[in-house]
Structure 1
């Protein structure tokens, strides 16, 4: 560090890393000055309010009493005080706009000195109309000195002493006859002997000095105390802000509660995870805000638990843990509840399990292809030869037909298994979705009796995706067959397209919508799992294959269903421009 340069590093040895410490480091005396003028303005506002109230009370009291003593000396005194109070009330009221707009010490000091002069004039008036330098109201000067010390410190005390001494000295000159007595003071201020006046002036001056010294000391101590208190308050506010900033910045949701589960604080992450952004929950009961927490948190002993919720149609998993909130004395005064979004972990676990199942399924399919399919082919051929030989009883012929049919069904299952476990992706090219769906409907019409069913294609022309046409055809065929089987008594199957832009990428949704029996809610989450089926003779591979094909084209499949109303399967795929 070069000579004459100052360091910008915070003093680490202090152990204070709060924003207040950094502010004090960078602002130094300026920060203390800011606090100083703010405290001075507050004091002046209070004193100005008290002064204005005093003037108004004086004017009101004088106005009420003045009529009862007409023509007497007391009447003159009361009239004088009323007018003095009325005149003094005007500048007292005018101080407020200047005080409220002041932003530095200089204008505040000028206002303070003006108020000191005004108070000294008022005190002088009170002394003059109540007997002169020997009046009991000379304590007003002492009061002004104390006030000046509180507002302006030692300098204010010295200025107030000087003003008070000069004012008292002026009253003494009138009493001694050195100044011409104004007409309105005739009969109010009497002439006094030199010794009496000197005694009063010296005694009051000594009192001014003594009170000034004491006031100066007390004012300095008060000023230091005010600055320290303001510093402590600022530090506490900064620590609170630092605490809230830390809680607001962490990704883990934090909720602090009392022992009765009344919410004390909730950070931004917890509001987002629990969908409480628009709700003010401080002071509310936790179980009223998040009812799902009640059952797992009331169990003994309390353990971590996981919850599944939906946010904007997207599944979300939360892990919730509870720990005690301990006071300094070691007493439990509440609970701290942390909420973590473990959706990504759940998805990763599900993906790993799926990959493990697929790996196992791949090995199994190889065994099936070699060890089961070949014997099935021999069995089917033998059954066909026996049937062709003739001379069979009707029961025997029917039994052979059952054997052949079941062998065909097993072969179809094995084909689906191999197709899923070891997919053979053909040539990747542009796929015209409308053409593939039209061809699929035509082929299905020639293979299956569609009497009582209606398949309506509402797919727009010119929609292309990149993928294997054969696998896309098979995925559409699986969805169509699945929908037709769900409509056991006939119905309408609609195949609908919907295009849109998402994150500057054009997408298409191909929806297969039927009016069949629907899927129970408890089965929706498993409907796309491998080998999961609700059909008596289903394989559980059809929809899993559809999900696999959707993933191959960088898309995904979603399911919506309502029992007794129908089901819709939607494949979301990115669109491309056809070559």
Structure 2
């Protein structure tokens, strides 16, 4: 009897073990499926997501993080988050300090992508990674906000330009008419009165400054007045060559300056207001010449924009360059870096390009020159300023 009892008990235990094994296998399969689902969800996020251990080394790095940073998962895992995300020391110090008292917060900083896309603007949030046993590390989520920040800057510029336009409309005519009377009166007095050499010099200064003020007012009015577009099909090569000819014979040209035009051998047709296209090139080119007080080459280039069937206008100088901190405000009114000029030339370029739904790209290194590329799509409609 004892033998049979042991056999029955052993059989029952074996059945229980088999059942437990099946249940364990099912549970393991469900856990694996759940882990796969979680990983799929994490990798499907358009934002970057990274987790770290207590020493701030990366444990998790999703596909969104790979796409934003240009750093593959296999390279990122195990490395310090500070290195992979290029976190400025001040940002990391702030994260560690403020998470203790305030929880998650958003930070923004500049990041240079590892795949050659250049400098990006990153928006990042960090929070503690909580586990049942307490805090185990940090959770970072981040996005490439370069385009969003550019749109914000463009909106700010447009708002400022609108304010300038309203102000210009109100004051330009009030100043221009008396100014013309003053200038005319001085010219008459200069002709009719016996003047000493010093008085002649003073008259010249008054007339010259009056003309400079009148030039500034004309720039104001370029904003205040709605643009009357004269849309026609023209050869962009002609516009560039005409502008180059004017520049070579203008007061902006100094000894040592050389203006070079690079255009296709065949016609480069575009439908727009030719005068406005020439103004874009002129304003960019005069800025380029002023950036080369000791001389240098100025390159004017025109080419087809394959993706939009439009054109690309490029102006490149070998001048003093533009500091990185000034690039964001380059096209704002009165930002002019040179004593000569109204400070509205580049702002006018920005407005014209915006009217054509185009884009402006600027690359510059202090001491190494500046390149400005204007991309204008094939014309559909042109917005009135």
Secondary structure of residue in 2 paired with 1:280 = helix
8 Å CA contact retained: 2:305, 2:377: no
8 Å CA contact retained: 1:465, 1:573: no
Map residues 356-371 of structure 1 onto 2, 5 A cutoff.
Answer: 356-371=159-174
Deviations 1:310-365 (CA, angstroms, capped at 9, x unpaired): 55546533221222222235x32222222134345423432332232122111111
Show the counterpart of 1:456. 260
- For residues 119 and 171 of structure 2, what CA distance do their matches in structure 1 show? 36
- For residues 168 and 342 of structure 2, what CA distance do their matches in structure 1 show? 14
Deviations 1:159-189 (CA, angstroms, capped at 9, x unpaired): xxxxxxxxxxxxxxxxxxxxxxxxxxxxxxx
- For residues 344 and 458 of structure 1, what CA distance do their matches in structure 2 show? 30
8 Å CA contact retained: 2:62, 2:73: no
Secondary structure of residue in 2 paired with 1:540 = coil
Show the counterpart of 1:295. 90
Q: Which runs of 5 or more structure 1 residues have no equivalent in the other structure?
A: 1-202
- For residues 77 and 289 of structure 2, what CA distance do their matches in structure 1 show? 53
- For residues 563 and 334 of structure 1, what CA distance do their matches in structure 2 show? 41
**Deviation of 1:514 (Å):** 2.5
Residues 310 and 414 of structure 1, relative CA distance in 2, 3 Å threshold: farther
8 Å CA contact retained: 2:361, 2:374: yes
Among 270, 277, 288, the alignment partner of 1:483 is 288
- For residues 298 and 155 of structure 2, what CA distance do their matches in structure 1 show? 35
Query: CA-atom RMSD, angstroms?
Result: 2.6
Within the alignment, does 1:309 sit opposite 2:111 as a pair?
yes
Residues 237 and 541 of structure 1, relative CA distance in 2, 3 Å threshold: same
Give the count of matched residue pairs.
Answer: 368
- For residues 229 and 83 of structure 2, what CA distance do their matches in structure 1 show? 56
Show the counterpart of 1:380. 183
8 Å CA contact retained: 1:305, 1:320: yes
Show the counterpart of 2:277. 472
Residues 269 and 242 of structure 1, relative CA distance in 2, 3 Å threshold: same
Residues 442 and 282 of structure 1, relative CA distance in 2, 3 Å threshold: closer
**Deviation of 1:450 (Å):** 5.9
Show the counterpart of 1:350. 153
TM-score with structure 2 length normalisation? 0.86
8 Å CA contact retained: 2:297, 2:318: yes
Map residues 318-357 of structure 1 onto 2, 5 A cutoff.
Answer: 318-328=122-132, 331-357=134-160
Show the counterpart of 1:260. 55
**Deviation of 1:293 (Å):** 4.8
- For residues 470 and 498 of structure 1, what CA distance do their matches in structure 2 show? 18
**Deviation of 1:416 (Å):** 1.3
Show the counterpart of 1:496. 301
Residues 368 and 458 of structure 1, relative CA distance in 2, 3 Å threshold: same
Residues 220 and 293 of structure 1, relative CA distance in 2, 3 Å threshold: farther
Map residues 53-202 of structure 1 onto 2, 5 A cutoff.
Answer: none
8 Å CA contact retained: 2:61, 2:73: no
Among 352, 363, 372, the alignment partner of 1:549 is 352
8 Å CA contact retained: 1:519, 1:561: yes
Secondary structure of residue in 1 paired with 2:126 = strand
Deviations 1:196-218 (CA, angstroms, capped at 9, x unpaired): xxxxxxx9xx95x5664333222
8 Å CA contact retained: 2:56, 2:81: yes
Residues 363 and 319 of structure 1, relative CA distance in 2, 3 Å threshold: same
Deviations 1:243-294 (CA, angstroms, capped at 9, x unpaired): 2222222233222222221222122222322332364322322123223254
Secondary structure of residue in 2 paired with 1:292 = coil
8 Å CA contact retained: 1:518, 1:562: yes
Deviations 1:444-478 (CA, angstroms, capped at 9, x unpaired): 34444665433222212311222111111112222
- Structure richer in helix, relative to its length: 1
- For residues 153 and 317 of structure 2, what CA distance do their matches in structure 1 show? 29
**Deviation of 1:481 (Å):** 1.8
**Deviation of 1:421 (Å):** 4.2
Q: Which runs of 5 or more structure 2 residues have no equivalent in the other structure?
A: 100-104, 380-385
- For residues 555 and 488 of structure 1, what CA distance do their matches in structure 2 show? 30
Secondary structure of residue in 1 paired with 2:299 = strand
